[in-house]
Amino acid sequence: MSQLVDTHVAVLTFPHGTHAAPLLAIIDRLASASPKTLFSFFGTAQSNNSIFSTSQPTPPNVKAYSVDDGVPEGYVFVGKPQEDIELFMEVAPQNLRKAMEVAVEESGRKVSCLVADAFFWFAKQIAVENGVPWVSFWTAGACSLSSHVYTDLIREKFGVGGIVGREDETLNFIPGMSKVRIRDLPEGIVLGNLESFFSRMLHRMGQVLPEATAVFLNSCEELDPDRTTDLKSKFKQYLNVGPFILATPPPSVPDPYGCLTWLDKQKPTTVVYISFGSVVTPPPNELVALAEAVEASQVPFIWSLRDKSRVHLPNGFLERANGMVVPWAPQRDVLAHGAVGVFITHGGWNSLVESIAGGVPMIFRPFFGDHGVNGRMVEDVWEIGVIVESGVLTKNGIMRSLDLILAQEKGKKMRENLKEVVALAQISVGANGSSTKNFKKLLDLVCSQNHA
């Protein structure tokens, strides 16, 4: 390994959804392993405040810098989808450049490596300007990564003029994607508006990522062997360095609503935990269907639901409930609790990994982005959960899925499959495991001055 000297790594984070928190987790690990390297961590003030206050104590060689969120003074949101993201992204390249200059000036150290969220395809240019390697972090799983890397091929195969009637055709021409159907793909590949800002951003990302010095992600090679082989051939270095949660188990977070104490009183694998992540709220009719299903099934539950959505719950539901509705739950700890038997989720990658680590089968209600492909992997490849019938939350559909997982042989089998998946993941983060070896490569690449 090359010598680790007083290097300076610029970390460019995407401040929306759950992107910055996992990046901070791995940066903390790199910073602890390389105390002489300085990590300047760039995010919006809101994102930085939120993740630095809830993360484990950050090593002293990680310093947060705020970048502007791109929302002009006095701007009134018109309610366009991803409006905040577009505003941020439009000015992100120049704002990040400016913030990097401040960090260089303050520290007196030139930047020696650029680590950036994969969404920032323009990071390649910033790296070139600074004459440093560009190391890209993909926040989600390998399946969605393949979808973006192969966008041009998928479009060539299926055309872009609409795919009505072909939604169940599979992507069997791409390694590791034989179970994935067109309908599962993130929108903007062949479904939805291909010309939206977001679609164009992801398309560009898929085209330029193979030029990155390395691409790393919070997963392990063994979870996706075919795709691992394929993506290793596509990228200069393809480094699975997770699951972070197993590699360096994070400390418990506060539990202000007493979820864990309540779980202590429940029987093993009986409770349903419900959460749709940090961005999604299901439409009111689906919230009602979910509440009715939970009540009719008489399953004890913890439901993480933002306060503003409580108004959609059926009259008297909260009084009759055999469970808790809380605005935020200590999800990792909840999923690791033996009382939890099933997780109803939107299918974000962090939720999926936390559920696997906790050995909890999932019921997926996919909304956008990678949720669909994640759900397909869970249902058809790893067989550790199901996608909810007809793709939306209905009372009967949820009741059947709950019964399948909590009471039927199939649910038992899913828990056994989960044990196998967890065992593979544990080996990967063990002393000689693939993720441990990849982490060492990442450390060398990111913290070393010698990038030959």
Question: Number of residues in contact with ligand UDP, rule: CB under 6 A?
Answer: 17
Shortest distance in whole angstroms from residue 19 CB to ligand UDP: 7
Q: Is residue 332 a contact point for ligand UDP (CB under 6 A)?
A: yes
User: Cα separation of 88 and 251, whole Å?
Assistant: 32
Helix, strand, coil % in the chain, rounded to nearest 5: 50, 15, 40
Chain positions 333 to 362 lying near ligand UDP, rule: CB under 6 A, are 348-351, 354
Shortest distance in whole angstroms from residue 328 CB to ligand UDP: 4
Chain positions 397 to 416 lying near ligand UDP, rule: CB under 6 A, are none
Spatial neighbors of 431 by CB under 8 A, at least 6 apart, are none
Q: Which is nearer to ligand UDP, 362 or 443 (CB)?
A: 362
Task: Give DSSP secondary structure letters for 52-90.
Answer: HHHSSPPPTTEEEEEE-----TT------TTHHHHHHHH
Q: Establish whether 117 is a catalytic residue.
A: yes
Q: Establish whether 307 is a catalytic residue.
A: no
Q: Is residue 331 a contact point for ligand UDP (CB under 6 A)?
A: yes
Q: Which is nearer to ligand UDP, 279 or 423 (CB)?
A: 279
User: Cα separation of 64 and 24, whole Å?
Assistant: 10
Question: 52, 197, 257, 328: which one contacts ligand UDP (CB under 6 A)?
Answer: 328
Q: Which is nearer to ligand UDP, 269 or 278 (CB)?
A: 278
User: Cα separation of 195 and 204, whole Å?
Assistant: 12
| Edge-to-edge strand list for the sheet holding 214-217 | 62-67, 38-44, 8-12, 113-117, 134-138, 214-217, 238-240
Shortest distance in whole angstroms from residue 398 CB to ligand UDP: 19
Q: Which is nearer to ligand UDP, 269 or 331 (CB)?
A: 331
Q: Which is nearer to ligand UDP, 351 or 394 (CB)?
A: 351
Cis ω for the linkage preceding 72 (within 30 of 0): no
Q: Is residue 368 a contact point for ligand UDP (CB under 6 A)?
A: no
Question: 329, 443, 446, 447: which one contacts ligand UDP (CB under 6 A)?
Answer: 329
Q: Is residue 434 a contact point for ligand UDP (CB under 6 A)?
A: no
Q: Is residue 186 a contact point for ligand UDP (CB under 6 A)?
A: no
**CB atoms near residue 107 (< 10 Å):** 14
Contact present, 12 and 120 (Cβ < 8 Å): yes
Q: Is residue 304 a contact point for ligand UDP (CB under 6 A)?
A: yes
Per-residue binder mask for ligand UDP (CB under 6 A), 137-176, x = binder = ----------------------------------------
User: Cα separation of 9 and 22, whole Å?
Assistant: 17
Q: Is residue 365 a contact point for ligand UDP (CB under 6 A)?
A: no
Select which of 8, 16, 19, 337 is catalytic. 19
CA separation, residue 264 to residues 260, 268, 276, 297, 344 (Å)? 6, 9, 23, 21, 20
Select which of 69, 117, 184, 333 is catalytic. 117
User: Cα separation of 346 and 367, whole Å?
Assistant: 6
Shortest distance in whole angstroms from residue 414 CB to ligand UDP: 19
The closest of 355, 348, 408, 407 to 384, measured between CA atoms, is 355
Rounded to the nearest 10°, the torsion over CA 236, 221, 371, 417 is 170
Spatial neighbors of 407 by CB under 8 A, at least 6 apart, are none
Shortest distance in whole angstroms from residue 17 CB to ligand UDP: 4
Q: Is residue 366 a contact point for ligand UDP (CB under 6 A)?
A: no
Chain positions 247 to 286 lying near ligand UDP, rule: CB under 6 A, are 275, 277-280
Chain positions 15 to 54 lying near ligand UDP, rule: CB under 6 A, are 17-18
Q: Which is nearer to ligand UDP, 150 or 349 (CB)?
A: 349
**CB atoms near residue 284 (< 10 Å):** 12
User: Cα separation of 268 and 199, whole Å?
Assistant: 43
Shortest distance in whole angstroms from residue 365 CB to ligand UDP: 12
User: Cα separation of 245 and 226, whole Å?
Assistant: 23
Q: Which is nearer to ligand UDP, 175 or 361 (CB)?
A: 361
Q: Which is nearer to ligand UDP, 224 or 354 (CB)?
A: 354
Where do contacts with ligand UDP occur on this chain (CB under 6 A)? 17-18, 275, 277-280, 304, 328-329, 331-332, 348-351, 354
The catalytic residue positions are: 19, 117
